[in-house]
Amino acid sequence: MSAIAPESLALQRLYHWEKTTPARVVFTQPFEGAAKGSGQIRTWTWQQALDETRRMATHLQGLGLPPGSKIALISKNCAHWLMIDWAIWMAGHVSVPLYPTLAAETIRQILEHSESRLLFVGKLDGWDGMKAGVPAGMPCIGTALSPKNDFPNWEEIVAKTAPLAGHPVRPADELCTIMYTSGTTGMPKGVMHSFGGFAWSIAAGLKRVPLDSNSRMLSYLPLSHIVERMLVEHGLLATGMQLFFAESLETFTIDLQRARPTVFFSVPRLWVKFQQGINHKMPPAKLNRLLKIPILGGLVRKKILKALGLDQCVFAAGGAAPMPPDLMRWYDKLGLDLVEGYGMTENFAISHATLPGKQRPGTVGLPYDGVQSRIDPANGEIQMKSPGLMLGYYKEPGLTQAAYTEDGWLHTGDKGQLDAEGNLKITGRVKDLFKTSKGKYVAPAPIEDRLVMHEAVEACAVTGANLGQPLGIVMLNAEGIKQAADGEGRKALEASLAEHMKGINDKLDPHEQLDCLVLVTTPWTVDNGFITPTFKIKRNRIEEVYAVSYEKWVGARKKVIWAQ
């Protein structure tokens, strides 16, 4: 790893803000009912946040655990999530964050595999279904935002515990955290990252992302995901910005308007939802006409962005899954220059990104400074190197070795190609390609990028191994389901989707053209296993549930079919 300045490491950054800006507000946390005016909105200054962190660190040291013990936390995003993480580090241990939507079986697998000695249980919606995954006898600590439990409580512990004195530090090459990948197939793997890896990666990221001490961000994507961990947690440590949290999914719009973030990152699925919400209020044709009128168009743009809570946003980004090019162009018309980033848990999500003001729809831009990238001529796989690569997979030396080429490049598993300017275009997953019965390979991702752009589509998957032609499985959004409940609305929806498919097929090679669209009204959720916590479709689950019906659907000889 390149030389890392000690003052850039996580704990040293905490001590810096504690010393230089103790009275500055760092966290704004709504409690239940805040959006309706019946709940508290609490703030923490750096001094208050570090005081609680130090007191919990004292408690953790008092447990007598061996240095470097694994301590897990499961919680939705909140101020306590970050203070828990920092206390674990300050006490000399390793944090193991779990996604707040995991099933009990996966929780048990991670807690046992990581050998976690303690579990922090924070803000959660489905604890009743999760708690069976906590091994018997594992000690737990709750917080003010936790579901009802009998655990020792964060607030009670910090109230009676003295703050840890001094400035304990951790070396750059020391294990900091184990992040279990959400995984689109199989059980998650524990990606090990060091303090130095975090420091190098956020320094590289901030050369592209305009974060500083005056920035505001809303933290709502899982902090257990690498992008939120990097951009929010380590962006905060690097810059001292102000961080807001969301109360709930239902209050998200209000939370966003409260924060009015200057930097906002989201996954494609939410950017699509924003677009569909606007289209529902104003027909696209009318919006396009208004945007072309010189003065009025500017007023319309400002009104829409203010309604979204993004009127102060100077940097907007998408990633974690491919951003449809048409979606990027649509936001560009609104005056929101969307940047697309590309990376993975194993490389701190610091690989490629487009540049602000230089949108290149359909690509993920250029490598970050310090990142080397190449495409394997044998199979088109993107491979990369950087000082921010993982230490390896926890307790999996074989998988760690398999993650790298013989000459030390990380296998991304993604296929790609470069345009004339050197921008990287993701063309699919090496293993997502499937072959039709005609012997032709189909890459589903580019087709899905177009398919999801229909106003009634929430998510989709293109599949069809060994069929004559591929087919598209479409999960309808709430508006689409509502429209389909009415006889005439159902016919109109079918006609609209058939026309949408025709438009897509007209731009595809013959072997890629969709045979039909299958409409699904049952939501694809994390709970039923169809998507990961970052809204990536689990293709193996799609095949497991729907493959038995493929031949029947194709045999119906209809363009639009309703799944039973």
Domain limit, last residue, from 429, 463, 492: 429
Q: 3-class DSSP state for residue 506? A: coil
pLDDT digits (tens, 9 = 90+) for 223-240: 998 999 999 999 999 999
Domain limit, last residue, from 375, 409, 429: 429
The arithmetic mean of pLDDT across residues 89-104, rounded, is 94
Residue 229 or residue 322, greater confidence: 229
- Give the residue among 218, 222, 267, 266 at the shortest CA–CA distance from 241: 218
Same domain membership, residue 267 and residue 224: no
Residue 185 or residue 541, greater confidence: 541
pLDDT digits (tens, 9 = 90+) for 347-400: 999 999 988 777 777 889 999 999 999 999 988 899 999 999 999 999 999 999
Q: Are 120 and 73 in contact (CB under 8 A)?
A: yes
Within-domain flag for 252:
no
Confidence of residue 56 (pLDDT cuts 50, 70, 90): very high
Task: Supply 334's token pair.
Answer: 């609104």
Residue type, 553: W
- pLDDT (0 to 100) of residue 186: 56
Same domain membership, residue 400 and residue 457: no
Task: Supply 76's token pair.
Answer: 């939705």
- pLDDT (0 to 100) of residue 373: 95
Same domain membership, residue 523 and residue 405: no
Same domain membership, residue 407 and residue 350: yes
Within-domain flag for 486:
yes
Domain CATH code at residue 355: 3.40.50.12780
Residue 439 or residue 539, greater confidence: 539
Same domain membership, residue 340 and residue 422: yes
Task: Supply 562's token pair.
Answer: 């309703």
Residue 516: pLDDT over 90: yes
Same domain membership, residue 439 and residue 356: no
Same domain membership, residue 229 and residue 319: no
Residue 499: pLDDT over 80: yes
| Whole-number average pLDDT of the chain | 90
Give 387's DSSP letter. T
User: What share of the chain has pLDDT > 70, as a percent?
Assistant: 98
Domain limit, last residue, from 429, 444, 464: 429
- pLDDT (0 to 100) of residue 473: 94
pLDDT digits (tens, 9 = 90+) for 443-494: 888 898 889 989 999 999 999 888 889 999 999 998 999 998 888 889 999 9
Within-domain flag for 327:
yes
Q: How far apart are CA 258 and CA 462, in angstroms?
A: 38
Same domain membership, residue 178 and residue 39: yes
Within-domain flag for 254:
no
Strand 263-266 and strand 315-318: pairing?
parallel
Within-domain flag for 255:
no
Same domain membership, residue 216 and residue 269: no
Residue 183: pLDDT over 60: no
Task: Supply 442's token pair.
Answer: 């189909």
Within-domain flag for 251:
no
Residue 325: pLDDT over 90: no
Task: Supply 517's token pair.
Answer: 């669209």
Confidence of residue 139 (pLDDT cuts 50, 70, 90): very high
Give 131's DSSP letter. G
Task: Supply 104's token pair.
Answer: 């009990």
- pLDDT (0 to 100) of residue 35: 65
First to last CA, the chain: 54
The arithmetic mean of pLDDT across residues 202-218, rounded, is 93
Domain CATH code at residue 501: 3.30.300.30
- pLDDT (0 to 100) of residue 2: 54
Backbone angles phi, psi at 258, to 5 degrees: -70, -45
Q: Are 479 and 460 in contact (CB under 8 A)?
A: no
Within-domain flag for 258:
no
Same domain membership, residue 157 and residue 44: yes
Give 229's DSSP letter. I
Domain that holds residue 456: 434-562
Domain CATH code at residue 94: 3.40.50.980
Same domain membership, residue 470 and residue 356: no
Same domain membership, residue 406 and residue 441: no
User: What share of the chain has pLDDT > 90, as a percent?
Assistant: 56
Q: What is the count of structural domains for the chain?
A: 3
Within-domain flag for 1:
no
Q: How far apart are CA 563 and CA 556, in angstroms?
A: 12
